[in-house]
Amino acid sequence: MFKELIVILVIALVVFGTKRLRNMGGDLGGAIKNFKDAMKGEKKPEEDRKVETIEAEVIDKTKH
């Protein structure tokens, strides 16, 4: 089991490269964290401000 995992990781490293794997790992970790927060129903205040800003921009663009 462990040997197969090492082989898969080495193949992924060769195919994608270290930088891209790091980015994919970070993106996956962020997505999992956001999913868990959404399941708990928690929302950060900074996210509320971002949503309000984006909504205001969309409304502003639709008026023109």
What does the radius of gyration of the chain's CA atoms come to, in whole angstroms? Answer: 19
Question: Which string of b and e fits 29-55 if b means at least 16 CB within 10 Å?
Answer: eeeeeeeeeeeeeeeeeeeeeeeeeee
6-64: pLDDT as tens digits: 899 889 888 888 788 788 888 888 888 888 888 887 665 555 556 666 666 666 666 65
Output the pLDDT for position 46.
56
What pLDDT is attached to residue 7? 92
